[in-house]
Structure 1
């Protein structure tokens, strides 16, 4: 939970910084003075003044702001009553075109960020579960599901669904998910024999996708040990593979 909150604050902070940076850079380019550049709202935690601009980090990390010269001056004054230097650097005394550019620069920077990050995400890649690229060997069958009604058992290898070859779990999951409420023709291999079964596919109401209770085979390899639990006391270590329990052979985690 804490990790999720911290991650949210960091991502939001980056988005806010880029957004406000757009306003800041365009204001400077348009000749508008910037009094404050702040990440966050509320009481200021840290501030440092460089030139005419005060750079701050504020207590509430749910936004940010750029305060420009003349931005909050809502009083209508005759141009001759305003000092020339202030009028030259005031946001309200710039042309409509320049003010529009300053306002639009924030959202534009967020668009630029998205355009930059998208190809980076493709180049770096996105992690997907390793089992999706493995052959669809059944590791466990959920009771009272389509898989149980079809008579599938752990160790069955799904060869095809509705005539479509299923070389990986990804292919099988996609075929099941896109056919909610239907009954699929399933070809499997069990103990060297090929069998044909009928697989009822249920509908997951919240998302409208199909599900049949098919669970992949997950090797019983220990990833980590929780301190203070019996596994630690027994001397089990990360990387150990469990081959039997009380004399019963173990093939996958669900046993």
Structure 2
């Protein structure tokens, strides 16, 4: 149960932060955001704040921000339609009643002759049960459609995604992956402040219980000056000497509170993947500093980004197989292992997953953010956008292929861990 809770929280945080990036920068550009969703499928929970409906959906396989204009508008008002109109204090139409007009006795019922609710914001028509005089009505920029008792805000063209500059649209899409990298950086910075960050100095860090270092009298904070008369000044030099000396006594020259102390230690032999190395049961020294944690967080974010990109490169070149990929099931099992090691390792795992999500979304694959950015790059080169229908078809095919890949990876994970 603890693993389930941890997995749900990690998944929720990663998707929330990613989609929050899209939402914030879309709203900054003036785009009407109809829905902010965590998950796909049927709604489990929802509430509305300002113009946006915030929802949690049943299937935990991602999330989305539904921006006006990205998909064809659901409701159209065409010539010949009978609609009802309700007006605001300025005399402008603020509600267009599509059906069940008898439930709105104050509505003015007209037959539509012309309607443009995106650019001109006007409706012309003939009022029923009156002389057939053509009337024109101004529509409020904050008007709503009412259909089956549900209100849907109308999106004038200047509130739609496609009306914004190339830079604004690019930032609204890029902001999702960007927020994943920012989240990872903040987690690493917090860990550096709360837990400390490793420093490459010849100082003894935390000792494991009953390890050779502990039983020999070594203490946390001791500064190692030399091992077997070989001077050392970094942690890497200490580790290198210990690892090549299993079951061999080493004489540590220690500086402890200004006094020199000689301590003999015999590293214990430890075999991993068929290779035997020496260990004495000490951890790398850690330092806690707010100022030091920030550059360390940036370095760790960069290193993990580089590592993940290198792994993807090996997958593309065939050095890794698809069987080495993990989907939700594989991530769940890894989370189960990491959760047993404590909250700090779980937070570090969250940061690594956040970087991974950011990188994957930036890949130039249709249906992903990187695919959208690829079309924006083509638009910048051509000087005009690619046909929306053609782009939509490419993204649809890409989404279908991604779902197929997810099914294959998930089935591999199930066979690997449960069968």
Task: Pick the TM interval, shorter chain.
Answer: 0.5 to 0.7
| Aligned residue in 2 for 1:115 | 185
Encode CA deviations 1:120-164: one digit per residue, 9 max, x unaligned.
322222599xx9545x8x837xxxxxx9xxxxxx95557985446
Tell me which residue corresponds to 2:172.
102
**Aligned equivalents of 1:195, 1:117: Cα separation in 2:** 38
Q: Residue 186 of structure 1 is aligned with which of 245, 250, 275?
A: 250
Give the distance between the partners of 2:49 and 2:264, measured in 1 at CA.
75
Q: 1:158/1:165 Cα in 2 relative to 1: closer, same or farther (>3 Å)?
A: farther
Match of 1:210 in 2: 277
Contact 1:19 1:109 in 2 (8 A): yes
1:23 Cα offset (Å): 0.6
CA distance in 2, matches of 1:33, 1:198: 68
Structure 1 pair 102–176 and aligned structure 2 pair: CA distance change class (3 A)? closer
Q: Which moved more, 1:195-204 or 1:31-40?
A: 195-204
Aligned length: 183
Deviations 1:61-85 (A, max 9, x none): 34211111111239xxxxx977225
Matches within 5 A, 1:215-234: none
Give 1:96 deviation, angstroms: 1.8
Structure 1 residue 9: deviation in Å? 1.9
Contact 1:38 / 1:65 at 8 angstroms: preserved in 2?
Answer: yes
Could you list the runs of 5+ residues in structure 2 that have no partner in the other structure? 74-114, 120-154, 199-203, 220-225, 253-261, 283-419
Cα deviation 1:200-251 (Å, max 9, x = unaligned): 8555228x78345x569xxxxxxxxxxxxxxxxxxxxxxxxxxxxxxxxxxx
For 1:57 and 1:22, locate their aligned partners in 2 and report how far apart those are by CA, in whole Å. Answer: 17
Q: 1:82 to 1:95 in 2, by over 3 A?
A: farther
Report if the CA contact (8 A) 2:245-2:278 is conserved.
no
Aligned to 1:234: none
**Which residue number in structure 2 is paired with residue 83 of structure 1?**
118
2:124 matched residue in structure 1: none
Distance of aligned partners of 1:139 and 1:164 in 2 relative to their CA distance in 1, 3 Å threshold: farther
Is residue 191–residue 197 contact of structure 2 (8 Å, CA) maintained in 1? no
Conserved? CA contact 2:20–2:176, under 8 Å? yes
Q: How far is 1:89 from its partner?
A: 1.4
**SS state at 2:163 partner:** coil
Instruction: Name 2:42's counterpart in structure 1.
Output: 43
Per the alignment, residue 16 of structure 1 pairs with: 15
**Normalized against structure 1, the TM-score is what?**
0.54
Task: Report how far residue 30 of structure 1 moved.
Answer: 0.8
Of 117-126 and 22-31, more deviation after overlay is shown by 117-126
Question: 3-state SS of the aligned residue for 1:108?
Answer: helix
> CA contact under 8 A between 1:35 and 1:68: conserved in structure 2?
yes
Q: 1:121 to 1:87 in 2, by over 3 A?
A: same
Question: For residue 246 of structure 1, what is the aligned residue in structure 2?
Answer: none
Partner of residue 194 from structure 2, selected from 124, 127, 133: 124
- The verdict on how the C-alpha distance between 1:55 and 1:44 changes in structure 2, with shifts beyond 3 A counting, is same
CA–CA separation in structure 2 for the residues paired with 1:211 and 1:26 = 53
Flag structure 1 segments of 5+ consecutive residues without an equivalent: 75-79, 141-146, 148-153, 189-193, 217-255
Worse overlay, 35-44 or 82-91: 82-91
Secondary structure, aligned partner of 1:92: helix
**Match of residue 341 from structure 2:** none
- Compute the displacement of 1:54 (Å): 0.9
- 1:139 maps to what in 2? 210
Shift of 1:181: 4.8
Report what 2:63 is aligned to. Answer: 64
| Contact 1:38/1:66 (<8 A) preserved | yes
Following TM superposition, the consecutive aligned residue runs of length 4 or more in structure 1 with deviations greater than 6 angstroms are 194-198
TM-score, normalised by the number of residues in structure 2: 0.35
Contact persistence 1:48–1:55 (CA under 8 A): yes
